Structure 1
Amino acid sequence: MLAEAYAFGVASVATGWVSIPKSLLSLLLAWAPIWLIIGIAISGPLSDRLGRKLMFYVTMALYGVGALGLAFSQGYGLILLFLAIMLLASGGEMNTILIASHELMPPRHRGKATMAAVSFVSIGGLVLAVAAFSSSYGSVPVQRAVVGGVGFVIVAVLFYVRGRTPESLRWLYGIDPARAVREAEHFYPDQAAARIGAIEAELRTSTTATSSWRQVMGLPRMGLKLACSTMMSFGNAAGYGMITYVVGPYFFKNLTDQILLAAGLAAVISGAIFLSGDRFSRRRTLLLGYVACSGISLIIVLTRGWWHSDALRFLALVFVLNFFINIAYITEDTFKAEIWPTAVRGSMTALVRFISIGCYVVTIFVTQNLTIGEYLGFNLAVWLVGLAGAGLWSAFGIETGGGAALGIASGETIADRS
């Protein structure tokens, strides 16, 4: 998670590394989500077919190549090339983390464990901001080397951690039960029988087979799940990017590092909500987050004359908005990975992320010629789309939080009740 946020933010910082025509600024900003969704599209289905752990190693290797190359990039072309490699890897990395977190953790901890993992996105943004800000008074090669070097250090830490992380037992049991038992005995010698027993008990209450797309799409609420999760995910992707990564660098280019720092600090602080991940209602938390983001976006529209010429006021609004964006973000990311059956969890989570981030890419080009008033109005509309998704799920969806078993959240068990 930390790696994806770091790589995504580097695209914004990189606008100051080379001299480029203003007409190409949107291309550089779109470069990040474009390669993220390519990584997502590749890794999702592969994680369902080859396993969660193997994808971790593939994405880490690619991320390391990108980070190292970025540190030595001199021209615009090389910067784009190594950013693409980093983003391809980080898009796949995050998708795999989302699904693995739910599958590896027991019901009483999976909500807060997944939210905590998503919260590392905020830490990744903060790390980038600190790295960029601390080197901003040096030469461009110095800042480039610092940003690339920190990214490589992140990879080294992740490699160490991944080597001590087991394969998802839920996924592995569906592929090879005997191998799942061996994996459990290796990583959980004192809990192996209990963990395998819990999986077997849940399978005995399974609603139906879920090994094919036709079977999966026949489960209850699949259309509602896809619509609501995509709408909320789009609100997050486009809403967060429009203010923090587009409005900021475009209209306050000299404040790019400070904007990233303010957004990162707000997100880290609000990330403490992960502690309630298995206690509070997921539906209500989602609704709260999107109501707040829509309300603050409306305030930003109505007060643009107050903040547009004052950098400190703009930074304050960025901080408050990102505080609530992060609440919506970590809750929605947790939600969109828990609602799908295990056999297709990677693919369906990737589909939601691919559509939502792909739509965000479109908004970058659609909005590049809008006036500031039109642009902010569009941002408000984006958050209203997310609010509509949260409202629909609150009214017609099931409760997936509060310590609910993953099988209930995904619809794989017969206990799927409102």
Structure 2
Amino acid sequence: MNEINRIDYGPLNKYQWLIIISSSFSMLIYGLVLALPSISTTWSFVPQNYYVYIFLSIPIGTIIGNIVIGRLADTKGRKNMFILTLLLYGLGSLIVLVSNNFLVLILGLLISQIGLGGEMPTLLTYLSEMIPIKYREIVLIFTTNIANVGVLIGGIISLKAGLLSIEQERFYYLISLIASISLMLVFRLMVPESLRWEIKKKKEIGKRVKIEQLWFKIYFLTSLIIATALTYALLALTIGPYLFPKLTSILLVIYNLGESIGGFISLGIIKRIGTKFFAVFSYMGGFIVMIFVVIDYIFAKNVLQLFLALLFINGLFGEFAWAARVSLEPVIFPTNFRSTGIAISRLLPYILYAASIFYAASFDVMQYLIYNIILWGIGGLASILWYVYGVETINKKLEDINNE
């Protein structure tokens, strides 16, 4: 346990710096790959009436990756799954970027999304176990926020696509991903396995965990994920194009700019106010912002500047909510259930995500707005209940958090 104490309370060592750098870089790649479904809809061989299947690959792939790889990360090790997820979204992206056939494109998107789906629970678990308590929340928020920068870059590429041919756009994207993923493979082979997992694997990994003892934590995280996953970029990708159909790429950039800035703001305040209050602030703030969006739609729906301002603020609170969620996801479950717990909490949200692609397809703008408010309200209610009954995690060891 002395080794664990050195991790929890010691200064950052060279391996931990390597973990932070490689994790940040992997999140940049994560964002670039995450942008591929949206970008692929601009390619000439993709029929417009098939867009729904492209976007359906995201929740389906995420569900498979979360459940399968999330569980394997608890039984076979964090580092092994890092290699697997990297190979999956690397292979999937390669297939997507060389495809000239819709079915091949869908196959590539599905494989890449399975990789991304398994990446997040594994990465969050690993970071929470290997970073000192003093820096844990900061590193969790900072590294995952880099994904927003990746999506922002993808949006800018899409915005500038008119200056390039489709073939040039795909070629430059392909070269960038091949170089990035090759470098990431070297990084991931160099980082050590989670010490906490290695200590626990002989003693507890094979033991059964009683889900009923964790139901409140699973309910809490499920509600937060429903709010963040189903509202992510809803204003930018769905409602915005209804109102300003020629500005889709600009809306995506403005929203992700708000998300990127929101992540860095989160770094400065979460440790000051604590994860419990920060969660309430983030989810109730997002709920209130959506009420103002409804007021804007009723009284000034054609005023672009006002919509862009609200879109930017929504991006800020979207990232605050994400930061609150990723700060809590990996730390409130025990080591032998940590990645599995994250995966289970994501199951219902992504099933709803897949279903919403169909049942929300016929919504008008006001229905989308009401839907968005309800989703934020689900997260807001859960955050209030956690504030009352949950555990404050700032500056506490993982073992202590799970004993409270």
Normalised by the length of structure 1, the TM-score is 0.84
The residue identity in structure 2 corresponding to 1:213 is R
Contact 2:275–2:327, Cα closer than 8 Å, also in 1: no
2:44 corresponds to 1:11: no
Once the two structures are overlaid, the 10-residue window that deviates more, 16-25 or 37-46, is 16-25
Q: What is the distance in 1 between the residues matched to 2:301 and 2:39?
A: 21
Superposed, 1:149-164 pairs within 5 Å as: 149-164=175-190
Change beyond 3 A, Cα 1:40–1:286: same
Task: Give the drift of 1:252.
Answer: 4.4
Task: Give the drift of 1:132.
Answer: 2.4
Task: Give the drift of 1:161.
Answer: 2.4
Contact 2:142–2:267, Cα closer than 8 Å, also in 1: yes
C-alpha distance after superposition, 1:14-63 (max 9, x if no partner): 21213655543333222222212211111111101110001011111122
Equivalence for 2:28: 2
Equivalence for 2:111: 85
Q: Tell me which of 226, 230, 243 is aligned to 1:234.
A: 226
Q: What is the distance in 2 between the residues matched to 1:87 and 1:248?
A: 25
Q: What is the distance in 2 between the residues matched to 1:328 and 1:35?
A: 23
The residue identity in structure 2 corresponding to 1:166 is P
The residue identity in structure 1 corresponding to 2:181 is V
Q: Tell me which of 390, 397, 403 is aligned to 1:405.
A: 397
Equivalence for 2:173: 147
The residue identity in structure 1 corresponding to 2:208 is W
2:140 corresponds to 1:114: yes
Q: What is the distance in 1 between the residues matched to 2:72 and 2:42?
A: 36
Q: Tell me which of 289, 299, 314 is aligned to 1:296.
A: 289
Q: What is the distance in 2 between the residues matched to 1:268 and 1:355?
A: 26
Contact 2:62–2:114, Cα closer than 8 Å, also in 1: yes
2:204 corresponds to 1:212: no
The residue identity in structure 1 corresponding to 2:320 is I
Once the two structures are overlaid, the 10-residue window that deviates more, 60-69 or 298-307, is 298-307
Equivalence for 2:360: 367
Equivalence for 1:205: none
2:245 corresponds to 1:256: no
Q: What is the distance in 1 between the residues matched to 2:68 and 2:261?
A: 33
C-alpha distance after superposition, 1:186-230 (max 9, x if no partner): xxxxxxxxxxxxxxxxxxxxxxx785334x4364xx221111110
Equivalence for 1:286: 279
Task: Give the drift of 1:279.
Answer: 4.1
Provide the secondary structure at the position in 2 that maps to 1:125. helix
Q: What is the distance in 2 between the residues matched to 1:9 and 1:40?
A: 19
Change beyond 3 A, Cα 1:37–1:58: same
Task: Give the drift of 1:65.
Answer: 1.5
Q: What is the distance in 2 between the residues matched to 1:395 and 1:405?
A: 21
Equivalence for 2:379: 386
Contact 1:3–1:121, Cα closer than 8 Å, also in 2: yes
Q: What is the distance in 1 between the residues matched to 2:300 and 2:81?
A: 44
Equivalence for 1:320: 313
* Root-mean-square deviation over aligned CA pairs: 2.2
Q: Tell me which of 100, 124, 128 is aligned to 1:74.
A: 100
Provide the secondary structure at the position in 2 that maps to 1:16. coil
Q: What is the distance in 1 between the residues matched to 2:205 and 2:217?
A: 16
Contact 2:145–2:263, Cα closer than 8 Å, also in 1: yes
2:379 corresponds to 1:353: no
Task: Give the drift of 1:305.
Answer: 4.5
Task: Give the drift of 1:253.
Answer: 4.7
Contact 2:296–2:307, Cα closer than 8 Å, also in 1: no
Q: What is the distance in 2 between the residues matched to 1:163 and 1:279?
A: 36
Once the two structures are overlaid, the 10-residue window that deviates more, 50-59 or 275-284, is 275-284
Q: Tell me which of 25, 48, 52 is aligned to 1:26.
A: 52
C-alpha distance after superposition, 1:85-118 (max 9, x if no partner): 2111111111210110100112222121111222
Change beyond 3 A, Cα 1:157–1:267: farther
Once the two structures are overlaid, the 10-residue window that deviates more, 102-111 or 342-351, is 102-111
Contact 2:230–2:353, Cα closer than 8 Å, also in 1: yes
Equivalence for 2:238: 246
2:155 corresponds to 1:129: yes
Contact 2:333–2:341, Cα closer than 8 Å, also in 1: yes
The residue identity in structure 1 corresponding to 2:218 is L
Change beyond 3 A, Cα 1:352–1:335: same
Once the two structures are overlaid, the 10-residue window that deviates more, 249-258 or 38-47, is 249-258
C-alpha distance after superposition, 1:327-366 (max 9, x if no partner): 1112112211111000011111111112222212222211
Contact 1:99–1:346, Cα closer than 8 Å, also in 2: yes
Q: What is the distance in 2 between the residues matched to 1:7 and 1:249?
A: 22
Q: What is the distance in 1 between the residues matched to 2:192 and 2:73?
A: 14
Equivalence for 2:388: 395
Q: What is the distance in 2 between the residues matched to 1:323 and 1:43?
A: 30
Change beyond 3 A, Cα 1:172–1:143: same
Equivalence for 2:15: none
Give unmatched runs, 5+ long, in structure 1. 178-208
Task: Give the drift of 1:6.
Answer: 2.6
Q: What is the distance in 2 between the residues matched to 1:251 and 1:78?
A: 33
Q: What is the distance in 1 between the residues matched to 2:259 and 2:39?
A: 19
Change beyond 3 A, Cα 1:147–1:304: farther
The residue identity in structure 1 corresponding to 2:373 is L
Provide the secondary structure at the position in 2 that maps to 1:339. coil
Q: Tell me which of 259, 273, 276 is aligned to 1:267.
A: 259
Q: What is the distance in 2 between the residues matched to 1:64 and 1:240?
A: 24
